[in-house]
Every structure is written in structure tokens, then in C-alpha cells.
Chain A
Amino acid sequence: MTKYRIERAPAPGWMRILIPLLAIPVTFLLTSVIILLDGANPFTTYYHFLVSPLAGRVSAIEVFVKSTPLLLTGAAVAFAFKGGYWNIGAEGQLYAGAIAATFVGTVLLDVPPIIGIPAMVIGGFAGGLLWALPSAILKVKLGVDEVVTTLLMNSIVLNVTSFLLNGPWRNPVSMWPQSPEISAGTVFPQLIPRSRLHFGIIIAVIVILIIWFVISRTSFGLKMRAIGLSKEGARFAGIKVNKTMLIVALVSGGIAGLAGAGEVAGIHFHLIDAISDGLGYSGITIATLGGLHPLGVGISALFIGLIDTGAQTVSRVLGVPVYLGDVVQSTLLLVTLSLFVLQNFRIRRVN
């Protein structure tokens, strides 16, 4: 009698790099079912998802615009995860960064950009860092699970934002729940005329290069990697686990805060309730798809930016809901995570 048995057998190293690429066709197959139910042709749909946005100059630039905050939230999450700190709060830290940047931008009137722009960057970083601080302290002092606390901090900051926009910051002219405009000297410069592509993407690329350098080349990076892989092993080797993890958590929050500052200073020029709409959560998808490697994060942020842009094209051209983009993104994450687990097993035939 022939039977099949599932046994543990980790796949070789090159497989790990291949997984995100393998996940794409699988995701395509799975989401095709939903696309078909919606009465659309999966191939046409995916053409508009993945190819159309890159075909035109305007929409191609828009892919990079959409990717700007994603590069930063992806980097924030990957940095934290790499150091064994499960920061689910990039969304909230982004909002905190946006609030802080709005504050800086509305307080600093009549400053030249040479002062205004660095002030926005520092403000955004500080805002995200401060919002990450309570969870990080609870984690290292009392061992409170950071997955729960960082997640809960997200809902708090949403309400803080609503309070500000309906209270002290309500636009005095329009009475809309949006903050006053930031001053001209604090606006991020446009990189390409008549587009929304702004200075934020340069910050994002620099941040990704820095965290890549820190993780792979510095002693701090080795410490945080060791902690991420085995807290016990790291502690045994005399690494100060709590101190390192605290720094990782705060830097991660700061990076997510930069994403918020970029959205305020480069896109909206004021604070609104819907400044993020899940950019922080997408950061988790991006960090995972990128295998927590900074350069992988860069590629997957651009890919998710492409899907986000494509979702709008698809909905315009084919009349399917724009939420299809979210479905594709989520499916891609689930498929990737499943593949990361499944690669540890093989099926063998036994007699």
C-alpha cells in the first residue's frame, strides 16, 4: 500500500529568495476566481493591474508617488521585525508623524526651506518615535506583548487625529475637518514638474540604504539580527537584549513617522483623517514579501505601489470595485506566508 507522509525538510537557501516570485502566479490563480465572479477577464484585469500603469508617463510617476510612504513603512516594519520586535503599529506611528509634521508646518511660519524641510523630517521622525515609545517600554520593562500594544496604539492615534481635526485644528474657513495648510517653507519640493512626486522618495531611498548598512555592516546590526533570530542565544553572548530592542523599536517608529511627514509635506499640505488608509499595515505585507531585507523591501514596496495604482486603472476601465487591489495585496501576503511555512516540509511517498 502506498501512503504519503508529510515530513520536516527545510528547502535550500535559494528557495527563500524564489518564494516571493512564486507567490505572484499563485496569487493570480486564486484571485482569478474573484475576478471571474465579478464578470471580468482575469488576463485583461491583470494586464491593467501590472502593465497599464507603467505604460503611460503620468501613471508611471504615480506608481512612485504611491510607493513613497510604502517604502518607509515597509522599511520601518522590516527593521523592527529583523530585530525581533513585532511592531504592528506602523500605521499609528505614521499618523503620529503626520500630526507632528503638521504641527511643525503650521507653527514655523516664514522659514526658508533649508530650515523648514529638515524641521519637518525631524518632526515626523520624533512623532513616530514618541508614539512607539509606550509599547517599547512596556515590552522591555514588563514583557507586555508588543503585537497587542502597538496595534492598540493605532486606534488611539486615529481618535487623537479626529479630535484635533474636529477641535483645535478644524479649518476656520471651510469648517471641514482638516487642519490649516502648512507654511510654504515646510513643503517638500516637487521632483518632476506638474507631478505629485516629491522629496519624500529621496528620504525613503536614503532610509533604506541606511538600514541596509546598519543591519548588514555594523555591530548594532549584528546584535539586532542575533536577537531577532534567538533572544536566548544573543543574551548568552552578553548582548544587552532589552536596550537593543528598545532602540530598534523607537527607530522603527521614527521611520514610520517619516512616511506621515512625507504625506503631509509632499502630497496634502494639511492633515486629514484619511492621510494613511492602511499604509502602515501594507508595510507589514511589504516587509514580509521583501523577506525583511531592505533591498527586498524596496522592490516589494514598488510592486505594491504598482498594484495600488493598477487597482484604480482596473476599476476605471473594467468597472470592478477598487477594493480588488486590497484583495490582491492580502492574498499575496497570505500566499507568501504560507509558502514560507510550507518550504519547511516535503511530501514523501512511503510503502
Chain B
Amino acid sequence: MHAVQMKGIVKRFADLVANDHVDFDLEKGEIHALLGENGAGKTTLMRILYGLYHADEGQILINGSPVAIHAPRDAIKLGIGMVTQHFTLVPTLTVAENMVLGETGSFTINLKEIEKKVAEASKRFGVPVNPHALIRHLSVGERQRVEILKALYHDAQILILDEPTAVLVPQEVEVLFNALLRLQKDGLSVVFISHHLNEVMQICNRVTVLRDGKLTGTVKIADTNLKDLANMMVGRENFGVTRQGEREQGKVELRIEKINAVDKKGLQALKDVSLEVRQGEILGLAGVSGNGQTELSAVLCGTQKITSGKVFAGDVDLSSADTSDVCAAGVGRIPEDRHANLVGELSVAENLILDQMDKFKKNGIMDQQKIQDNAEELIKTYNIKANANDRLRTLSGGNMQKVMLARTLSQNPRIVIASQPTRGLDVGATDYVRSTLLEQRDRGAAVLLLSEDLEEIMALSDRIAVIYGGKIMGVLPAQEATAEKLGLMMAGSAA
């Protein structure tokens, strides 16, 4: 018996297809994982089910009958509850008050009565919360329990959890899993969105894998293993740009020594990470997303501080550098989020000189002609489909990335930090970016490539390191690195 069936779901955002004819079904009383990388379309699919988005095509059936879900209100009526990554609780109100927020059902509030009902529900569902507690006094794990109880309190039969473990410490994860297993026994159906393979293997019955908005497949956990799942998640077509031949390796250009750093929530994200990148090589850093890549990239770009350790670019100590020091040290950066790290409302020409203004000014006055010439030359060299005076935001993702590449690489940096450089790009642009990175390597630059795309790492890297849980699991020469070995390391076993 199916609790939920989603058939042929298509969702487009402008020219991006977030869900491309995705089929998904959830059986009654199962915990079903929705697995995929960032941007694979997991959350979009569930937001459609919860009424936050509307599918452009496709059909939704709940308990076998077709339904129309226009808003979360409709979803809640159908017994669907969703706990998002960003909690929707009011910190200054109590647990009980949050439970009935927006639907007290009457003009007056009988808080005593509500608190009693919440306490009963808490006992009945085995989700321990204190109805009198103020939300702001609760830990993240407790807040999440309140969110879950809130859904159950409103008679949810189907519970969607969007990356519930992302915000939790390991002990809290245990508590969550125990609660879920208990609820499952009582007949609750759960969709568990995640990109952590181990968790999926641990708690789920079946798993549906999405990749680039398309369905890769649905399998029983009993019939699969970590390695197969990793392959289903990260595999992508090989676009034909690959590293040719081996090179003499030069001296160490980028040296990272035992660095530690925390993420936005203050949790440890990098643990004693040490890496060396030599002149004329690409060191690929593989890993499932959320294992510290974002923080490592931010540290090397100068946008985040480390709590301990050392970073050297050649002889220059960048351990406590800000972005201007990093630029001055000759580190070229291709960041993960190109939208945020360029200025959309400035022109292409202005963006192209933003990190090297000094070369384009005379006595503090900008040399407009030189800026224009520079832009026209780079637009030609890097094949950017835009005019020099276009606002940057009017460009497509691929062309924006080319602007970033042009700005960074035209300065002939001795070190290149490329973070997810082809994410979200089409085949042509991906090809282009990859061959550009190889050119940099052949020119003698030390290239650190952070990517969640294993094929990309294997196609381009001279050596491959794997990061898991903020730790480097090992570094392999490209010849020894098979997809199988890397897959195991990405799932947490040491080389």
C-alpha cells in the first residue's frame, strides 16, 4: 500500500530543470531515504509534496487517490508534515504555544488545556518535550523534536525530514533515530532527505537516488551497499576532457598544515587537515558534500579564519590572511558560490578588474579605456557570451563562471583553488572549465580541485585526496585510485 506516489514530476526554475520526470513512492510504515548531492532536486521534490512549490507537470497520489496540493495547508490536511532545515519556531514562545501557533481554533487560548494535550502527545508518540519550556532555552536537537511533535500533533501520517542530522551532534542523531524507529512501528511513514550514506544505510528501508534532477533509481537497502550508493549519487557522464600523461612535479607551492576550523553553527568542520599541492599538478579533493569542503575552500579563499594550524603559499604565511592578502599572494580562487562572490549589479568589465584594481588606475583614477580593453580581450579569450558593459547578473551561470575564470586565471596565479567549478554548468561549459584547469596545471600552477563529482576528480587529478567528516582519509596517486577505493574512503573508511 502506497502512502505517497509522485509520478513524472517536472519542476523548472527559469532554464534550470530541478526535477526532470521524477517518480517517487513511499510505502506505509517505511523510512524511505531521498539521497543525492546538493542541488540534485531532493528538497525541491519534497517541497512540491508539501505544497511549497507547484509541479509544472506530474501527478501526486495520497493513499491511492489523486490530490491537488496548493499550499502547506492542503498537505497538512492530507496528513503530511515537514520538518525543514530551518526551523519555523518562535524562540520567545513556549513549546505548547508554538504547537498551536496559527490554529488555536478559537478566539481565546486555554494554555493549561493545550499544555496538557501537548504533554499527552509527547508521551503517546514517545517524543519527549517539556511543554512549558521556552524554545530559546532548547538545544537544536530538542527544537527538532518539537518540530517533529508539532507535525505529529497535527495528525501527520507522513513525515518529511529535510536533512535532519545536518544540525545535530552524534548523540542527538542517536536519539532522533530511536524516535523514528519507534514511530515507524506505530505506522508512521517517513521521507528522510540526506546526503550521508552511512545514515541512510543505518535507518532506512528503501532509498531513492536523485542526480542532477533526474531519478537514478530506487533500491532496497538490503540489496545495496555503500559503494553502489556512492556511485549512484556522484557518477556523471564523462565529458571527454581528461588529463594527458604524467608530468615532472615541481616543488610544493601550497602547504596546509594541521588546520582546524568550525562551520557556521560553530561545530568542528575541519579536523587537523594537512595537504600539499605541488607546482604543475592537480590535487583532487573528493568527498560527499558537507564533509568540510565548503569550509576548506573558504579558508583558502581568505573568507574564513582557522582556529589552529598553518597555511603557506610558497613562503608566504596565509594562516590569518584576509581576502586581500590572499589575492596579493598570487592565489587564484574559483569559489563554490559564484553568484555571491561576484557583484551582479556591476558590469562585466568592472567585475573583471575588481580584485586587481591597482593595475587599472592612475593616481587613484580608474583608466576606463584600459578596463574596457581588458574586458574585450578576456571576453574573446575566454569565449564569454556577453558585452563588456552588460550587468553581470544578466549572464547565464556558465558565462558567469567564465567571468570568474577569466578574472582569476588571466592573472597567472601560482596557486589555483577551484571549488565545485562545474556545478550547475551544461556540458559545453563543463568541458571548457575542465580544460582550462588542465591548462593551468600544464603552465605550472598548483591546482587544488574540490569537487563532489567523482568522475571529474578522476579525470583531472594527478593525486586524489578524500575528505570525510572534516578529516583527510588519505591521498592516492591517480593510477592507484579506483572508483571502488575512493567510494569506500568517501564513506568513511581509511585508505
Taking beta carbons and an 8 Å cutoff, which residues of A are in contact with B?
217-223, 225-226, 229-230, 232-240
> Can you list 19 pairs linking A and B with CB atoms under 8 Å apart?
A217-B366, A217-B368, A219-B360, A219-B361, A222-B366, A225-B346, A229-B343, A229-B345, A230-B345, A233-B340, A236-B323, A236-B333, A236-B340, A237-B327, A237-B341, A237-B355, A238-B355, A239-B323, A239-B354
Check B344–A229 contact: CB distance below 8 A.
yes
The size bracket of the interface on B is: 20 to 34
A196 to chain B, nearest CB (A): 37
For the complex, give the distance between the alpha carbons of A227 and B355 in Å. Answer: 13
Check A238–B326 contact: CB distance below 8 A.
yes
A315 to chain B, nearest CB (A): 42
Check B346–A226 contact: CB distance below 8 A.
yes
Interface residues of B in 185-207 (CB under 8 A from A): none
**Interface 1/0 per residue, B292-308 and A, CB below 8 Å:** 00000000011100000
**Interface 1/0 per residue, B322-366 and A, CB below 8 Å:** 111011100001010000111111100010001101101100111
3 tightest Cβ-Cβ pairs between the two chains A and B: A238-B327, A237-B355, A238-B324
Picked from B303, B344, B365, the residue with its CB within 8 Å of the CB of A236 is: B303
For the complex, give the distance between the alpha carbons of A248 and B475 in Å. Answer: 48
A residues in contact with B357, CB < 8 Å: 219, 222-223
> How many residue-residue contacts, CB under 8 A, span A and B?
74
Check B366–A233 contact: CB distance below 8 A.
no
Check B323–A237 contact: CB distance below 8 A.
yes
B340 to chain A, nearest CB (A): 5
For the complex, give the distance between the alpha carbons of A222 and B357 in Å. Answer: 9
- Supposing A230-B343, A230-B345 touch, asked if A236 and B301 sit within 8 A by C-beta, the answer is yes
Check B323–A218 contact: CB distance below 8 A.
no
Residue of B nearest to A233 (CB): B343
B207 to chain A, nearest CB (A): 35
Check B324–A232 contact: CB distance below 8 A.
no
A91 to chain B, nearest CB (A): 29
Check B324–A240 contact: CB distance below 8 A.
yes
Check B354–A237 contact: CB distance below 8 A.
yes
A38 to chain B, nearest CB (A): 41
Check A226–B343 contact: CB distance below 8 A.
yes
B406 to chain A, nearest CB (A): 14
B residues in contact with A219, CB < 8 Å: 357-358, 360-361, 364-366
B83 to chain A, nearest CB (A): 28
Residue of B nearest to A214 (CB): B364
A308 to chain B, nearest CB (A): 33
For the complex, give the distance between the alpha carbons of A221 and B322 in Å. Answer: 21
B residues in contact with A236, CB < 8 Å: 301, 303, 323, 333, 335, 340-342, 355
Q: A219-B358, A238-B324 are in contact. List 9 more A-B contacts (CB 8 A).
A: A218-B365, A226-B354, A229-B346, A233-B342, A234-B343, A237-B323, A237-B341, A238-B327, A238-B355
